[in-house]
Amino acid sequence: MTSWAELPEELIGLVVKRLVGHHDLTDYFSFRGVCRQWRSVASEKHSYAGVSGYKVPWLMMAEKENSDDRLRKVFVRKAIRLSTANDNCIVLGIYSQYGKLAIAKPADKTWMTLECPPGHHQDIICFKDQVHAVDAYGILRICNITSIQPNAVDFASPPEEFEAADTLYLVEISGDLHLILRVDFRNRDDDGVGDPCQSENDDSHIFEIYQLDFCTKRWEELDGSIGHALFLGTNCSFSLPVSDYSELKGNCVYFTDDYSDIWEFGGGCSTGIYNFEDQKVEFINLGLDMHSMFSPPLWITPNLC
């Protein structure tokens, strides 16, 4: 009898496509674990080329059990991994309720805080081998992480007429650096505070998008006709061209409620899709059982290889 491992690669590839096509990858990963030959075929991209949905970002929810609210008070908002010229790994993070910047390298016993002007940092990104950070005032900074005392210096002022935003994001789109401003108007009282889980209206959010001109160090506001879908969140923010992802809506923002001050209402209350064209929001109802006081939902991009 022929060994299962000796099945023709074409036949194994057909099985892989069917498993991935069902969008339940439990069986797919079990299939990969049967033997080395099956894993090799399943890891080749052509085995699932043309299968819809496997590349679309997923939304990962936090567990509700054993979620200690005290852990939210001192936290790492975001961390990115960087590589230097000698292939040393460096992690840059935004930590504490004050939005400070810090790095950690192999063999370090503690994080090292970057010297920089005061400002609550909201996002960080590695763009064209240069690390950038933006604070709550919309000031863009360049981070020098290779010096003996790492630091961040001001590079570009906020966009003109910038007043305030609940959250700011840095995203690369088609090789250019963009700044996304998010404002949440839901149910704010006279003090500007409201319950984000009640009375969700399709005009309760506004997103603005700006592109940086590195020569003039000025931000240019765009109308959102970018041909991409934007995914914004605490853990990562990125863009995908809708020409390659037919399942996604173009000129839209896929967002989660990553504004930490509203987690007491349960992470996941405000998750939806914002359309730049009509400036309306289509909310995604995740269900009350999916809300977490510990963390908002996180975007992840699947990799089947």
**55 lies in a domain?**
no
Cβ contacts of 42 within 8 Å, gap of 6 or more: 12, 16, 28, 31, 32, 304
Query: What's the domain range around 110?
Result: 72-156
**66 lies in a domain?**
no
The span from the CA of 263 to the CA of 251, in Å, is 28
3-class SS of residue 38: helix
The answer to whether residues 137 and 264 belong to one domain is no
3-class SS of residue 29: helix
- In tens digits, what is the pLDDT along the chain, a chain of 305 residues? 467 777 888 888 888 777 776 656 677 778 778 888 888 887 775 555 555 555 677 777 666 555 455 544 457 788 888 876 565 788 999 988 889 999 988 888 888 999 999 889 999 999 998 999 999 999 999 999 888 889 999 999 999 988 888 899 999 999 999 999 998 775 455 555 555 555 455 667 889 999 999 999 999 999 989 999 999 988 889 999 988 888 889 999 999 877 655 555 544 567 889 999 998 888 877 765 656 666 677 787 766 55
Between helix 9-21 and helix 25-32 the angle, nearest 10°, is 150
**56 lies in a domain?**
no
The answer to whether residues 119 and 182 belong to one domain is no
The answer to whether residues 236 and 136 belong to one domain is no
pTM comes to 0.78
The answer to whether residues 112 and 220 belong to one domain is no
3-class SS of residue 179: strand
The answer to whether residues 262 and 294 belong to one domain is yes
The answer to whether residues 26 and 132 belong to one domain is no
The answer to whether residues 209 and 121 belong to one domain is no
The answer to whether residues 200 and 258 belong to one domain is yes
The span from the CA of 199 to the CA of 216, in Å, is 42
Look at phi and psi of residue 243 and say left if phi exceeds 0, alpha if psi is from -120 to 50, else beta. Answer: alpha
Place of tokens 């099956």: 38
The answer to whether residues 269 and 221 belong to one domain is yes
**61 lies in a domain?**
no
Q: How many domains does the chain have?
A: 3
Sign of dihedral through CA atoms 289, 295, 298, 304?
negative
